[in-house]
Structure 1
Amino acid sequence: MTTSSWTADPARYETATFRRCGRSGLDLPALSLGLWHNFGDTKPFDEQRAVVRRAFDLGITHFDLANNYGPPYGSAEENFGRILAKDFRAYRDELVITSKAGYDMWPGPYGDGGSRKYLLSSLDRSLERMGLDHVDIFYSHRPDPSVPIAETMSALHTAVTSGRATYVGLSNYTPAQTLEAHRVLAEMGTPLLVHQPSYSMFNRHVELPDAGSSQDADAAEAGALFAPAPVGRPLLDVTDELGMGVVVFSPLHQGLLTNRYLDGVPEGSRAAVGHFLRPERITDDYLRRIRGLAEIADARGQSVAQLALAWVLRDRRVTSAIIGASSVAQLDDNVGALAAPVFTDDELAAIDELAEHGAV
């Protein structure tokens, strides 16, 4: 094993901001580092290592992964495992490391979905890639309408009782599905700690009453084993009632809520190369909205990204927002959101005129 002379900043917790995750004993940093597409084999390892080190020095203790993060699949966990081995073995008990399974991972009938076979096999492979004996949170990455909810939740229950996970959570579940999953796990005796939905100024579905998702409708039409009726309440209300924390992803709407596209699509940007973000999303209406948000951000002494992060964190029900960072400079800019002043009512009203769900 390669040794490291790196030592974490001893002052890392002096200004760090933590929030309690629902009705549990777990605190999470207000900003967490996600390793979705900046930690695969297409990025230089030394740059990845520098970002993770800097995040921990800033008091970010929560690192969010999934089995198929990369590219290629699995490489983000492998690279993070290398960073852990080189720099973080002495700090393992100060870290909250998560993984997920539910989307496509390997060929055949056992490499996707919500079966016990897939979820527990995937968890074992994730632990191997990261060189860990357990993760702190293991998520069902999405509901699978073809699998009984009791089976999917039993896999999460086994992950905890076997010692492979400390807590469990859900991602991309509707309010109705969340209620049912919580009920089933409670009967098994395992708490459902956290929900991980998408949330941003341009994607406000967690605030909206659940009218039944297209996923629910498609599942019902197909005669699914797991197709609960809608509950008519927003996800944030449901998770709050259940005592669950909420860790949101894509708070910058895949880079659209930044200063990067104020003047169109720059060469080499994610939109320019069509990597997760299509250039056709940079419409005149988008430019009008982002320039309006930039004016509000400027008046507050913030970047657009800092404004967007402070905005999702304005709600006490949001425990943490996951940020992606391809460089230390980008990470530092995002963390600057935590120094933001409290929003005034006038600022929130102005933002509401520009931050419309589904606008982009």
Structure 2
Amino acid sequence: MNPVYISAAAALSPQYTFEAEGLLQDVRSSDNGKLFVTDADYSKFINPVAIRRMSRLLKMGISTGMKCMQLAGIRSPDGIITGTGRGSMRDMEIFLGDMIRLKEETLNPTYFIQSTYNSVNGWLAMQTKCNGYNQTYVHRGHSLEMALLDAQMLLNETNERKTYLVGAFDEMTDEYFLVKSKKAYWKKPVPNSLDLFKHSDTKGSIGGEGAAFFTVTNDKENTICGIEDIRMLQDPDENEINRTIENVLQRHHLNIKNIDLVLCGMNGDSRFQPLYANILTGFTARTSITAFKHLTGEYDTSTSFALWLATELFKRQEIPEIITLKKGIHSDIKNVLIVNHYILNSASILLLKGN
């Protein structure tokens, strides 16, 4: 398939990414194993009356999507495609709690309605008057990747210039954190989030959340970067990761010397650290190796933060020290590889090319 292009991107994360002019200058950390997003002024993007009835995830997703379209100068996209691994966890927990407490009688349907995975899409469509294609993917660690692939296929089917709003969103709650702690998702004892990679010899990671949106188009003009390739892997080992990277590079007539920067999704969990062993040692001195989950925590659609971060690196041509594992000697940032995994059993590889 032909590449598709990102013309604008916005992210709401545990760091100051939504409105800050600098990139990761004032870094937030956590000592309790949880990284929650820094809330923005949602009233800039949502009617204040409607905000009162909205869940936190709805406010996160809608505001990030509207911010992205504002940056792109678009009032209404041709379609809206999103991915989420959990949807609105808080609304679902409230609804199920009420169901038990009220013995399934006189239930308030609001929490159920807002807990559905496509609520963010519906609100965005109403606010932008978008009557086009509208789809939500719920595929755990591959949710964003499925949304991007869907957008790529749709844009490859037409010769007309079209722009889709593509995004991802996931939230974390205390109850979710507690349940997953019983499945060894999180580190014990808990390190400071900025020291996450110093504890890669033990099991577990830190919990996170976030939302990110992108305007994706088939017209290269006035765009930030192109998405050249999207690969999704199930239960991969180190060898399959390496083979897939080689295959992606060969398909696009590249080799490891052509990659300027790699964004790694390692999460400090000793069970998954081998997936990144070759990446940390196999690339040449020219390539910068970076990581991001000590800033966001682990969540299903963390690839969305990595993709947003890549767009910022393309624009700024500077790599913040806080994400750098190995500084390369490349002159500029043109080819970027995102290699990410989710704590269950999925991994993905994205190849990006700056415009």
Asked if Structure 1 and Structure 2 have the same fold, meaning a TM-score greater than 0.5 normalized by the shorter chain, the answer is no
**Higher-helix-fraction structure:** 1
Which gives a bigger RCO, structure 1 or 2 (Cα 8 Å, sep 6+)?
A: 2
**Higher-strand-fraction structure:** 2
TM-score (norm 1): 0.30
